[in-house]
Amino acid sequence: MSAGRVIVQEAPFEPADVLRDFARGRGDVGAVVSFTGLVRDADAGPLVTMQIEHYPGMTERAIGRMVETAIRRWSLADCLVIHRHGEMRKGEVIMMVATAARHRADAFAAAEFLMDYLKSRAPFWKKELTEDGAEWVAAKEADEEALRRW
């Protein structure tokens, strides 16, 4: 088992490169699952830019705990979370989760668990800038409910 990895950065990254390195040279796992989150248009209309604020220190700590839990609960061989902050444009990659396990059910479940927790328990706040102005994205009740299944 690995300790997993958490990366919080402003710079863009290429998910295909990250995934290739994550999966490379592994004989211990039969499954690698990844999720990539992209910036999309705001519900209010076309997006100009998105700004993501975070809480340095707490962010790494909170995600680190989620990763530890996922590794233990689904016996993951490895786990990676990359999440960006700062300003980004439509279509840019915001974040990525990758999990590696012996069997796919564990890799899928762990990735979903991490996504549900990242949504409402990692200290990030999104602000959408459209032609009508800037607005903080409101948390959704459904995101909170999604945590109950775990």
C-beta of 40: minimal distance to other proteins in Å? 12
**In terms of CB distance, is 77 or 85 closer to other proteins?**
85
Binding mask 124-143 for other proteins (x = CB under 8 A): xxxx--------xxxx----
Binding mask 13-42 for other proteins (x = CB under 8 A): ------------------------x-----
53 in contact with other proteins (CB under 8 A): yes
Return the closest-CA partner of residue 126 out of 79, 84, 65: 84
57 in contact with other proteins (CB under 8 A): yes
83 in contact with other proteins (CB under 8 A): yes
